[in-house]
Amino acid sequence: DRFLLCTDGIVDGLWDSRLEEYASTPAAQPKAFRIVEQAVAESGRDNCTAVLVEFAA
């Protein structure tokens, strides 16, 4: 399970399906960093902050 806390800059820059993709795809860098990086690349007009908490059910 995952819990994502983020600013509107993330939501405006990425759609829900893309957020899920970035949150669930293994990556070399932390997933929250990747989400912020992609949101800035897509929109870049607003501040972008994300905290992603993953835990076992």
Encode the chain (57 residues) as per-residue pLDDT tens digits. Answer: 899 999 999 988 888 888 999 999 888 899 999 999 999 998 877 889 999 999 987
CB contact set of 43 (below 8 Å; sequence gap of 6+): 9, 12, 13
What's the pLDDT at 49? 94
**Helix 16-24 × helix 31-42 angle, to 10°:** 150
Type and span of the H or E element at 52: strand 50-54
pTM attached to this predicted model: 0.83
